Amino acid sequence: MPAEPRTGRGRASRERIVESAAALFAERGVAATSLDEVLAAAGAGKSQLYHYFRGRDELVEAAVGHRCALVVAGLTQTLGEVATLAGLEQALAGFAAGYEQMGLPGCPIGSLAAEVAEHNEGARKQAAAAFDTWERLVARALERMRESGELRADASPATLATALLASLEGGMVLSQARKDPAPLHIALEAGLAQLRAHLA
Q: Which residues bind DNA (CB under 7 A)?
A: 3-13, 34-37, 44-48, 50-51, 55-57
- Closest CB to DNA among residues 28, 178: 28
Q: Which amino acid is at 141?
A: A
First to last CA, the chain: 57
Only one of the segments 7-15, 84-92, 145-153, 155-163 lies at the binding site for a copy of itself (rule: CB under 8 A); that segment is: 155-163
Nearest alpha carbon to residue 15 among 54, 42, 55, 45: 42
Amino acid type, 88 = L
* Contact partner, 62, from a copy of itself, DNA, none, Cβ < 5-8 Å per class: none
Query: Smallest gap, in angstroms, from Cβ of residue 67 to DNA?
Result: 18
Nearest to a copy of itself of 44, 64 (CB atom): 64
The reply to whether 60 sits near a copy of itself by the rule CB under 8 A is no
Burial class (CB in 10 A: 0-12, 13-18, 19+), 18: buried
174 binds, among DNA, a copy of itself, none (CB under 5 to 8 A by kind): a copy of itself
- For DNA, which is the closer residue by CB, 24 or 168? 24
Residue 115: burial class (beta carbons within 10 Å; 0-12, 13-18, 19+)? buried
The one-letter amino acid at 200: A
